[in-house]
Amino acid sequence: MSIIKDVQSGKKPLKRAYVAIFLWFTGRAIQAAAKVDSEVKKEFEKLPEDFTFSLGCLPCGPWMVVGREKGVVKYLGGDSRGRPVQVRLAIKSLDAGFLILSFQESTALATARNRLITDGEIPQALAIIRILDIVEVYLLPKLIASLAVKRYPSWWSFGRKLGGRIGVYTRTLLGI
């Protein structure tokens, strides 16, 4: 018997499922927010036609792919194969992804802790981060959203928050 054991790396099904569901829901919410929120719409309009970005965990996913198709923002699933991706936001590990997406670490803190890799143009990546921040504010209650974003937009009107939330949630759940 060899003194060296070969060990297959294990699996983390619960964390993987949580991250996959979160990315799936957020992807659909971005698609919805692009129709409901004017700021998100403007951010996407500044990005090139057929622009696609992905967000996910290294080395084996899960991923979320969102892109513009003929001017319309669409959630394109979890697989970017066969499609050029202009910006890839990669979280270094599934555990780091879980920390960020379960709001134990804000995006800014995770970046400071070297947990994120950006592959693509920095201005476009920053636009995506701004879009993600807005979507998180719509999706999450203030207490949790404050942990996820760098600065909670207390200057938003009550109407924008309530109307936006209803619109984003309805469209996300219906996938429209």
Partner 1 sequence: MNSAAVFDFTCPVKTNSGNKALEHLPVELAGLNAVNPLIVANARAVGPKAVRTLMNAFGDSKMTLGLFEGVTEAADLGVVDHLKNICLEKKYDAFIALGGGKAADVAKVLNLAVSLKTPDARQLSPKTPVRKRLLPLVVVPTAGADGLETSGFAHLNRMIFSSEFLAPGLAVLDSRLARARKGILMAATGLAALGRAVESHVSADRNPFQKAYSFAAVRFVRENLPAAVADPGNKKAALAVLNAAAMSGCAFSNAASGRLHKLGQVFYELLGIPQGVIMGMCLSRVLEDGFREGSCDPAALLQPLAGDDAFARTPAGKRAEAALALLNRFLEELRGALGKDLPKSLSEAGVSGYRKEEILDVLGKDEDGHYLRGVVEGMAGGKRERKG
Look at the block and give the residue holding tokens 């892109």.
Answer: 67
4 contributes a contact to partner 1 by CB under 8 A = yes
Distance of closest approach, residue 155 Cβ to partner 1, in angstroms: 33
103 contributes a contact to partner 1 by CB under 8 A = no
Tokens of 16: 């993987």
3 contributes a contact to partner 1 by CB under 8 A = yes
Q: How far apart are CA 18 and CA 98, in angstroms?
A: 8
Task: Give, for 126, the enclosing helix (H) or strand (E).
Answer: helix 122-139
Report which residue type is found at 164: G
89 contributes a contact to partner 1 by CB under 8 A = no
The terminus-to-terminus CA distance of the chain in angstroms comes to: 59
Tokens of 76: 């394109």
Is the CB of 31 or the CB of 80 nearer to partner 1? 80
Which residue from 23, 94, 131, 168 is in contact with partner 1, where contact means CB under 8 A? 94
Region binding partner 1 by CB under 8 A among candidate stretches 32-40, 43-51, 108-116, 126-134:
108-116
79 contributes a contact to partner 1 by CB under 8 A = no
Which residue from 49, 59, 155, 175 is in contact with partner 1, where contact means CB under 8 A? 59
Distance of closest approach, residue 105 Cβ to partner 1, in angstroms: 9
95 contributes a contact to partner 1 by CB under 8 A = yes
Is the CB of 50 or the CB of 119 nearer to partner 1? 119
Which residue from 30, 65, 89, 96 is in contact with partner 1, where contact means CB under 8 A? 96
Burial state string for 119-148 with b = 16 or more CB within 10 A and e = fewer than 16: eeeeebbebbbebbbbbbbbbbeeeebbeb
With contact defined as beta carbons under 8 Å apart, do 56 and 102 qualify?
Answer: no
2 contributes a contact to partner 1 by CB under 8 A = yes
* DSSP β-ladder status, 52-57 and 87-91: parallel
State the residues that interact with partner 1 by CB under 8 A: 2-12, 15-16, 58-60, 92-96, 99, 113-115, 117
